[in-house]
Amino acid sequence: MKRKLWIGALIMICVAIAATGTIAYITREKTVRNVITSGQIIMELVEQREEQGKWLPLSQEEIRVKPGLTVSKRVAVENKEESAWVRVKCEIICHDANNEPMELDKELLESLILMDMNTEDWICKDGWWYYQKSLEKGDRTDILMDSITFSSAMGNVFQGSTIRFEVSAQAVQTANNGSNVWEAAGWE
């Protein structure tokens, strides 16, 4: 009987040792940390004016409206970092002689203030001009706009008025973001 107890105890000890080894084998743990850094898009909106045959940075002054006047204004976007899809919005804001906002029909305004837009490399959709090519680091888009002309048909409603051209640009990454600007996600 004692012998059976000893054999039983020995079997239990062997089972306990085997179970401990198995648990240690199954429950090993290791931690690995991966650092993932997201890229960033840095772009610069480039606005220039021509003066005596040279292209200079455009001042932020308001333009006095004169029928028949053409004003040089070049607009482009320069990419400083990751490749990106680019779009630009150009808005015309008019103020009367008393510096009050003028409520004008958009179609009338566009017929009287003509922006010389590049429709080969840029396409207008929903008020935004989309650049058709991916803009790589260090590259600059083709010129979107070259000049603005005030129609000689502008009436007295514009007498003493000022006009501001507000240009804003947005960019989204090209990596894993569609094969063209129309498929890109992330536009705000």
Rounded to two decimals, what is the model's pTM?
0.74
Instruction: DSSP letter for 65, please.
Output: P
Burial of 63 (0-12, 13-18, 19+ CB in 10 A): middle
Q: What is the mean pLDDT of residues 44-61?
A: 79
Amino acid 54: pLDDT: 80
Where would I find the beta strands (DSSP E) of the chain? 43-51, 54-57, 63-64, 70-79, 84-95, 113-117, 122-125, 128-131, 145-150, 162-173
Q: Dump pLDDT digits (tens) for 10-31.
A: 777 766 666 666 555 555 666 6
Q: What is the mean pLDDT of residues 97-105?
A: 86
pLDDT band at 120 (very low <50, low <70, confident <90, very high): very high
Selection from 43, 44, 40 nearest residue 82 by Cα: 40
Check whether 102 has a pLDDT greater than 80: yes
